[in-house]
Amino acid sequence: MRTVYAKDITKTVAGLCVLANVRLREDVHKALFSALAKETNARAKSILKALLDNAAYAWENKLALCQDTGLPYVFIELGQEVSIRGGDLISAINKGIERGYKQGSLRNSVIRHPLKRDSGSCFSPGIVHVDITRGDHVNLAVLPKGFGSENKSAAVMLKPTAGLEKIVEFVIKSVKEAGANACPPFVIGVGIGGGFDQAALLAKKALLRPIGRKNRDKVLARLEKRLLKQINGLGIGPMGLGGKTTSLGVNILTSPTHIAGLPVAVNISCHVLRSASKRL
Amino acid sequence: MKKIYTPLSQSSIKSLKAGDEVLLSGVIYTARDLAHQQMLNKIVKGKRPPIPLKGQVIYYCGPTTAPKKRVIGSCGPTTSSRMDAFTPALLRAGLLGMIGKGSRDSSVKEAIRRHRAVYFLAIGGAGALLASKVKECRVVAYKEFGPEAIYELKVDDFPLIVGIDSRGGDIFRLCQKGG
């Protein structure tokens, strides 16, 4: 067994919360650059340029890229040969979120009770997903999820015989409904399979994969390419003001499912897709 | 690029057309969902809202905390459509401008036209860059709401695009095929 101390998890999560919020992900940065090169609409170009300027200014001044510093998601791959000492895992993570959000002057956007919204907002708890893996490593990934785009996410339980066309139709419909309100150009996470909950979780996890890294599954790689092309043909564009840059990337994750169903979930991210990870 | 100053007047915004890029300077007030709900409750009861509305501009924004030596944290716009239900009443009470991101519903468009007001767009997700245009910031109401409080911001050349003009012209209608 390898020992990992709760205080080190707290420290790591705190650092990742700040990093994710002030430094634009490298793949997103690259995607914005290449979109700027390809874009022909003058207004779209000037908005894309402003987004790159924003990323540079945020990093230089250690300022949050966006005032919505998100609902903090933490994904952990916990090696089964790891023993955590000095506190429990979930408290260590939430302490890290509290510390990081305070240190980074990030926004307290968490409401403790969804209906009693009168007690003011706070930094934590975040949403924590733990996967038990082989070995003795701990992988921590923090994804602060902006809610303007989260609000436009959707799931559907398709018929098992629906096939690719119905999946494409649902993804396109979701992107159209997100329109100008969810800060395009989007990164689209799609989860297919599992149950109702699993499809949504896959869609969220798909956002962690770097944009432009090819899907190893050939069928999915083709579907991602097709969806991206179709979405960029919608004409929504940056800020919803037209252009061919409506999405920077489409990432799909799948999982086994039931013979009677085909769950599909679409998690929309704004162009400020943030995450940071570290291996302990 | 056109320069405009707050407080607005119907004549100062008359010439603005959907799609125009403008630089706004002066005092603006932040307000999000919760502040809108509270203000509307006051107006409905015949009481005065905590900020002046006549000729003023509301910015749909909940900034991050100001880091040391800075006036304000990141401060980009939030989704305007969440405020649609409250907006016509505020326009009736004298509000002349709003800043946010995304489209508005038909009741807001109609109210903008009727009251000869204007809706501006700021770039969503460019909150750090926009922070550099804010010169002063203080809480003026609902401090207990944290980021949802009403902040009075003094801005200088705040970059905006006219989303809906005083004649009801809508940028999203002009820019998008079928959107």
Encoded amino acid at A12, one letter: T
% of chain A surpassing 90 pLDDT = 98
Q: What is the mean pLDDT of chain A?
A: 97
Using only the alpha carbons of chain A, give its radius of gyration.
Answer: 19
- What is residue B1's predicted lDDT score, i.e. its pLDDT? 87
A 10 A CB-CB count for A60 gives 10
Nearest by CB: B146 against A63, A121, A242: A121
Q: Which of A25, A41, A68, A119 to mutate against chain B (most B CBs within 10 Å)?
A: A68
B-proximal residues of A, 205-224, CB under 8 Å: none
Strand order in the sheet with A127-133: A127-133, A71-79, A138-145, A276-279
Identify the CA nearest to A50 among candidates A241, A278, A280, A262: A241
The whole-angstrom distance between B115's CA and the closest CA on chain A is 24
ipTM for the predicted complex comes to 0.94
pLDDT per residue as tens digits for the range B95-150: 999 999 999 999 999 999 999 999 999 999 999 999 999 999 999 999 999 999 99
CATH topology of domain B2-167: fumarase (3.20.130)
Exposure on the CB side of residue B139, measured as CA atoms within 13 A: 14
The whole-angstrom distance between B37's CA and the closest CA on chain A is 12
Could you report how far apart the first and last alpha carbons of chain B are, in Å?
27
- What is residue B177's predicted lDDT score, i.e. its pLDDT? 46
A112 in reach of chain B (CB within 8 A)? no
Helical axes A218-232 vs A163-178, angle rounded to 10°: 40
B7 touches B55 (CB < 8 A): yes
Rounded CA-CA distance B4/B14 in Å is 11
The whole-angstrom distance between A216's CA and the closest CA on chain B is 31
Nearest by CB: A108 against B127, B147, B161: B147
Identify the CA nearest to B76 among candidates A185, A52, A106, A64: A64
pLDDT per residue as tens digits for the range A162-191: 999 999 999 999 999 999 999 999 999 999
Which helix or strand (DSSP H or E) is residue B176 part of? none
Q: What is the mean pLDDT of residues A80-96?
A: 97
Q: Residue B45: CB partners within 8 Å, gap ≥ 6?
A: none
CA A126 to chain centre: 14
Q: B176 falls in which pLDDT band (50, 70, 90)?
A: low
Which helix or strand (DSSP H or E) is residue B133 part of? none
pLDDT per residue as tens digits for the range A185-234: 999 999 999 999 999 999 999 999 999 999 999 999 999 999 999 999 99
Strands B134-141 and B150-164: antiparallel
- What is residue B179's predicted lDDT score, i.e. its pLDDT? 38
B23 touches A29 (CB < 8 A): no
% of chain A surpassing 70 pLDDT = 99
CA A137 to chain centre: 23
Rounded CA-CA distance A34/B10 in Å is 42
Rounded CA-CA distance B119/B110 in Å is 12
pLDDT per residue as tens digits for the range B81-92: 999 999 999 999
Q: B174 falls in which pLDDT band (50, 70, 90)?
A: confident
Q: A117 falls in which pLDDT band (50, 70, 90)?
A: confident
Rounded CA-CA distance A79/A100 in Å is 24
In this predicted structure, the answer to whether residue A118 has a pLDDT above a threshold of 80 is: no
Q: Can you tell me which residue has the tokens 């949504």? A: A200
State which residue of chain B sits closest to A65, comparing Cα positions.
B128
DSSP chain A: -EEEEHHHHHHHHHHHHHHHHHS--HHHHHHHHHHHHH---HHHHHHHHHHHHHHHHHHHHT--SSS---EEEEEEEEETTEEEESS-HHHHHHHHHHHHHHHTT----B-SSSS-TTS--BS---EEEEEEESSS-EEEEEEEE-HHHHTT-EEEEE-TT-HHHHHHHHHHHHHHHHGGGG-SSEEEEEEEEESHHHHHHHHHHHTTSPTTPPPSSHHHHHHHHHHHHHHHTS---GGGS-SS-SEEEEEEEEEEE-TT-EEEEEEEE-S----EEEE-
B100 touches B82 (CB < 8 A): no
* Per-residue exposure over A161-172, b if at least 16 CB sit within 10 Å of its own CB, e if not: ebeeeebeebbb
Rounded CA-CA distance A278/B179 in Å is 40
